[in-house]
Structure 1
Amino acid sequence: MKLVASFWVLPDGRTVVAPVALQPDRFRYVVEVEGTFSFDYTGQTFDALSATDPRGEFSLLHEFFRLPPGLQLLERGGGHRYRFLLRPEFSSEPLAFRVDVERFVDTYLLSPLEVRRQLHGGLRVRIWQAPLRPGWVEWLPLPALLAVLGTAWVIRRRQQVARGMALEPDLAERLARLEQRHRALLQALRTSPVDLSTLEARCQAIWEGAQELAQHLHRLRRARRGMPRERLEEQVRHLEERLAQTPSPALRHELEETLAQHRRTLEAYRRLQEKEERYLLRFAQMEAFLERVRLEIPRLEVAQEKQAQERRLLAAADEELAVLETAVQELAGLRRGE
């Protein structure tokens, strides 16, 4: 293989495009990413795919480093080195790499300036090319060959993590109980001799909204653990002291922006602490509503009662959905610091 590009991706949020003109009709390309970057705010270290857990082991997958589309994992070597095969159908697109500062901002409720100050290190990217020929896979090591044949499980796992997340135990338990109620209700609705598809659609929307609510609560809790309220209050006091002692207008402007962001975050924490218990009660209320609908299905099967009873249940479902939507929007606003 021939090395055709080598460059660094620093944790500053800038996108780095590989300075290489790809020729997919003549070559296959392997992308190698090596190294780590750290985030002082949480004390974690990240490589291209993994992050450290509380024990310091690289057991967590993360989404803070953006890889180009079409990369298939070949092998993971020592020194936090990963090798990827670029699938030919993606060779017409530029190879762009970036540490996602915006995701750090969104996850930990910090300003972009503060996030950049907390990030250190960098990842080295190398791009290799090999001639395209019928037996082109012969130069790949066995782990690479297996990956090409479809065992790039790490990439698939990252895609799964992007679609969902592991909830905290109490949230997972609440959601599991609600799912049991939801499944029992669906079974009853679908086996009923009368058409209850409209009511089923409403109950399905409630279940989907409950999942979204649980994920918002999970993200907010994770953000709060990353920066305890006491530590944030201490930083606000420290920034206020620095601001009072700083004569430089430029530095004062930066300090004022950071201080304003910290104050907004503190206010978001206070609002969340006041409302989180109320949000958690929604799960019990949704569970009770779904069970109520299931128990009233026999009345819906009585011709003379169906229309009025279904209308009442649909109105109650719409009310439940409206409250749920408000809760989700409010939580999303708290995460953005609104």
Structure 2
Amino acid sequence: MCQQRMEQKNGSSFTGFILLGFSDRPQLELVLFVVLLIFYLFTLLGNTTIIALSHLDPHLQTPMYFFLSNLSFLDLCYTTSTVPQLLVHLRRADKSISFGGCVVQLFVALGLGSTECILLGVMAFDRYAAICRPLHYTVVMHPRLCALMASASWVIGFANSSLQTVLIFIVPRCGRNKIDHFFCEIPPLFKLACVDTTVYESEMFFVSVMILLIPVALITFSYGRIVRAVLRIKSSAGQRKAFGTCGSHITVVSLFYGTAIYAYLQPSNNYSQDHGKFVSLFYTIVTPMVNPVIYTLRNKDVTGAMKKVLCRGHDSR
């Protein structure tokens, strides 16, 4: 009787969802738990270190590291919005999430992901100003402008998330509540729909194109100009420094946008749930973990600041 009533209810009145996650591969769950726990701890350590160094070392209190600390904070929040719950579900038979929890998780994860898309574009503009307009860099990248661009990234990112979250949860699901994924994400939520979702998907595709491809176009333009400027530098040491700094950013951009475009800009009929889960694992845990490593290993300023802080702590003892 209760089940019949549940099936008659619209999706918006559900009390919860079931996140199937990797339950179809029980032999992988323990391995995934151990690997993801290690990755998550390294993500917390690496990104917290970047944020701390950016505030502790005066040499890192520049626009580049202001945006980098913003990116690290984003990665910390983004990973924490999904991974702790996944770790719990990997060790428990109960894989439920409340309706409100699913809404909040999608809103937060999508907002943070959208903000990162825009912030990476802003960081490319910062590198363009530093390399192509070095004499005007401090004027162009004024602290007030940096704060404004970072704030705008957050506002636009969460405005996009608000729109897409509303659109996805007004789609009728006719009693379906089993999400074939490890967290609440748009493509698997669309699979629960019991109506034609062409219009909804077209609207979301258009918004996703704006959020993903406009920053990519800005990044491509910026680095095209940067490469031309760097090639004019006569000093090989100067070229290496410029390419080293920009190379870190390009690597991060490639990892993040490559997986995001695969997840959000392919037709729904071509979307594979299994591939989608592992791609989502990549950009929710692997990318946030390797970002600090990429910036640290290829940046002498960060490694130098880390040595100073460690030596200071050792001397104080």
| TM-score relative to the length of structure 1 | 0.26
Kindly indicate whether structure 1 or structure 2 has the higher relative contact order, using CA contacts under 8 Å at least 6 residues apart: 2
* Higher fraction of helix: 2
| TM-score relative to the length of structure 2 | 0.27
* Higher fraction of strand: 1
